[in-house]
Amino acid sequence: MDCAIAGVAPQVDFALVGHPETWSAAAEVFSALRGPERTPLPDDELRDILPWIPPRAVCRVEVKSIAGAEAHGLYVDSFIPPDRLDASCARENLTRVRAAAVCAINAGARIVSLGGFSSILIEGNVDRLPPGRRTVFTTGNTLTVAFIVQGIEKMCALQGRSLRQSTLLVVGASGDVGSGCVRCLAPKVLRLQLVARNVERLRRLAAELETAGADVEIATDVARFSAAADVVICAASLPSPSLLLDRIAPDALICDAGYPKNLSPDAETSRATIFFGGLGQITGGLTFEPDLHGILNRHPFPNVAHGCLLEGIALTLEGRFESFSRGRGAITETLVDEIATIAARHGIRLAPFFNAGGPVPLQ
């Protein structure tokens, strides 16, 4: 499989594997690949063509650390159509992720970060990816957890909320990211409400937390919980924004950490404070070639990316080419602290707060 970019430099330290969250994002990437001289395709034509585009590297990525290190990488788009993220397309999408992994291996990447559904499709098990002689894979979920936890703590402090007196609701609690957040925050909150589809995983997680002294309730339906939840983390692997959260406290703090996002545009959250979580900002410098700023970085602040992608970059800048995050349910507070320290050392920090409406006003 030829996934090369014309004129790409021989040094490729890392690769980032992602997919478009929305059709508008897919259209912008596709238009950039075709060139500005060509007329953008109509939406219906793009929807017909995108499933036939094989995974490929779309740009070079250069990153600078505030500590003086530099890293050279590639962004590989798997081109999973945004409307084909449901379980019925899992086999087809896994084939795309594996093909994207081959692109990264053939380019010589030493570490590959898996963004969004890329890690969900392999169920957090990097051993399901093609072996590379010198390439390792990380789901990036540990740094994602670090930024979610940091965001919750910082926003509570800014709003004068007592996290210690809060009831924390986690949707998607049995997943890799959700369970990691729960383990980090359980000692810091009053009570936990955990929601996930897999009841057996929920029960095992609840038993682990209760052994450590936590007050835990579990359910497979978020509607089971009352309006007691005043801090919410949405970390479910939903193929589209469909979570409603009808029964939470009206002034709740909600962190939507989904990729794609979890919250439905119809959610009744008018008085809640919502921010997108799990995101970090590269303060040392980030460049794309060709320049896809505003396309790959579709955020109101510069050089912002998902923690799952930033983990591989942080590890590269540190010179640690290892599968730091590699399996479901293995994220601990110790590992979260370790990767957060590595990232901060190189100027990769919690991103400014924003949501679908733009920057979040801070009190």
- The token pair that represents 133 in the structure block: 């002689």
- Show the tokens assigned to 306: 């998902």
Q: 200 φ, ψ to 5°?
A: -65, -45
Amino acid in position 243: L
d(CA 275, CA 301): 14
Host H or E run for residue 274: strand 273-276
- The domain limits of the chain are 14-142+280-350, 145-278
191 has pLDDT over 60? yes
Distance CA(357)–CA(359), nearest Å, equals: 7
- Residue among 357, 346, 287 nearest 143 (CA): 346
218 pLDDT above the threshold of 90: yes
Lowest mean pLDDT among 3-17, 204-218, 315-329: 3-17
For the chain, helix, strand, coil in percent to 5 are: 35, 20, 45
Q: Is pLDDT at 126 greater than 60 in this prediction? A: yes
In this predicted structure, the answer to whether residue 8 has a pLDDT above a threshold of 60 is: no
Gap between the Cα atoms of 5 and 119, Å rounded = 24
Between CA 289 and CA 73 the distance in angstroms is 10
User: Of 67, 237, 255, whose CA–CA distance to 150 is shortest?
Assistant: 255
Residue range 321-333: average pLDDT?
91
pLDDT for residue 7 is more than 90: no
pLDDT at position 10, please?
A: 67
Topology given in CATH for the domain delimited by 145-278: Rossmann fold (3.40.50)
CB 361 within 8 A of CB 157: no
β-strands 70-77, 56-64 pairing:
antiparallel
Helix (H) or strand (E) holding 254: strand 253-256
